[in-house]
Amino acid sequence: MAAVAADNPMVGGAAMYADKNIVENAVNSADHTTLVAAVKAAGLVDTLASPGPFTVFAPTNEAFAMLKAGTVETLLKPENKDLLTKILTCHVVAADAMSDAIAGMIADDGGAHDVPTVGGCTLSAKMSGDTITLTDERGRTANVTIADVKQSNGVIHVIDAVLLPAE
């Protein structure tokens, strides 16, 4: 098993295994406990454990903590499941897109590439030096802090902000 994880970066203090799916790896990351709780509350575990492929832009606990006080607690309530699902699926693309491919699309499109998500949001991907940035429909920007974490059903890119759909 160790050889399988050797090519992948550590995330949240945990080894990420390319032969495990997105959910199986995410539950081991200490930096993604809020995201995992949100995925469970939204009922998306089975979806993100399915064959995919998916590219997930995974906000850290710190990213969720930057939202207005009480936002996460409110979103985790059962009556807000639809909004929570919309927000989470705005972090998921129905493709296996490694960072070099994303950077190539950005270059091919003249510096900005529209990224349609499974949640119906469109993110704008750009480069800031060697870092991929994503801007949501509200103008909020997230940086990819750990790229290319291979999964059996896609790839995770860790980001430092929560992306939101247009209001």
pLDDT of residue 15: 87
In whole angstroms, give the CA distance from residue 70 to residue 127: 32
pLDDT more than 90, % of the chain: 90
pLDDT over threshold 60, residue 2: no
Instruction: List, for residues 71-92, the tens digit of each pLDDT value.
Output: 999 999 999 999 999 999 999 9
The string over 82-115, giving b where at least 16 C-beta atoms fall within 10 Å of a residue's C-beta and e elsewhere, is eebbbbbbbbbbebebebeebbeebeeeeeebeb
Instruction: List, for residues 4-15, the tens digit of each pLDDT value.
Output: 555 788 899 888
Phi and psi at residue 103, to the nearest 5°: -60, -40
Instruction: Report the 10 Å Cβ neighbour count for 145.
Output: 18
Domain 2-159: give its CATH code: 2.30.180.10
